[in-house]
């Protein structure tokens, strides 16, 4: 970058760059255990992990065609609800600048890149893994996880559990039970032939973001 301010995390990931307003991610809400989440699909990012560790949990969000505020349920492929720990947030460019004491960073166009006044005590979020689209084959092979730390959070808005018709599923598996631990990505749809039903797996058509919650 030229003139401005840039802040990196301890592992070298970009946290704030005044040239890019979407580099300042602010946690706006946090839930220790919930089976549903209400959010604005055009503004919010939703990260989640199983509310309890030490298990083998697969979960995605219920199907929704809404584009604004929606309420979706964390559930298994059979439709059973799952309790998840959730971090919800927005990029600073989607927020109105706060007033009072604190630190605000704007880029040359006047876009808000960071605002310390937007933090409400729910901590921060640090990206530890980023997978570009079409890099995961969707089969969820437990011996080849995206990360071996099954207590990390994953972006969930792009997941879907759709049991209509023959079924379409995009979800994650958190395996934290002492064997082949890690997080894997699964995406497939069912095809029914005369002799039975088979799953056709698909690679991730959206990027995958994995990270950790923590202090600001």
Q: 154: which DSSP letter?
A: E
Average pLDDT over the chain reads 83
- Give the other-Cβ count within 10 Å of 143's Cβ: 7
Rounded distance between C-alpha atoms, residue 174 and residue 160, angstroms? 16
pLDDT of residue 138: 97
**Average pLDDT of the residues in 106-134:** 71
pTM for the whole structure:
0.80
- Give the other-Cβ count within 10 Å of 156's Cβ: 26
pLDDT of residue 65: 81
**Average pLDDT of the residues in 58-87:** 94
Q: Coil, strand or helix: which one is 117?
A: helix
Place of tokens 């949990």: 57
- Give the other-Cβ count within 10 Å of 61's Cβ: 23
Contact 4, 17 (CB under 8 A): yes
Asked whether the predicted pLDDT for residue 71 surpasses 70, the reply is yes
Domain map (residue ranges) of the chain: 6-214
Q: Tell me the torsion sign for CA atoms 87, 93, 99, 101.
A: positive
Rounded distance between C-alpha atoms, residue 156 and residue 158, angstroms? 5
Q: How far is CA 16 from the centre of its chain?
A: 19
pLDDT of residue 216: 47
pLDDT of residue 13: 52
């Amino acid at each position: 970058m030229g003139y401005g301010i840039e802040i990196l995390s301890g592992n070298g990931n970009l946290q704030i760059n005044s040239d890019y307003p979407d580099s300042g991610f602010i946690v706006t809400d946090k839930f220790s255990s919930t089976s549903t989440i209400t959010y604005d699909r055009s503004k919010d990012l939703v990260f989640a992990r199983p509310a309890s560790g030490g298990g083998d949990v697969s979960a995605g969000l219920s199907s929704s065609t809404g584009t604004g505020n929606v309420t979706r349920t964390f559930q298994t492929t059979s439709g059973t609800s799952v309790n998840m720990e959730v971090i919800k947030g927005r990029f600073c460019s989607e927020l109105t600048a706060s007033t009072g004491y604190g630190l605000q960073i704007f880029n040359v166009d006047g876009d808000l890149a960071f605002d310390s006044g937007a933090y409400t005590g729910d901590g921060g979020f640090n990206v530890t893994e980023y997978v570009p689209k079409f890099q995961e084959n969707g089969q969820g092979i437990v011996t080849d996880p995206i990360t071996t730390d099954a207590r990390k959070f994953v972006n969930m808005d792009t997941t879907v559990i759709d049991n209509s018709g023959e079924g379409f599923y995009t979800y994650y598996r958190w395996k934290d039970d002492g064997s082949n631990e890690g997080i894997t990505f699964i995406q497939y749809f069912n095809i029914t032939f005369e002799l039975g039903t088979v799953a056709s797996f698909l690679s991730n058509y959206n990027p995958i973001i994995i990270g950790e919650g923590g202090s600001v």
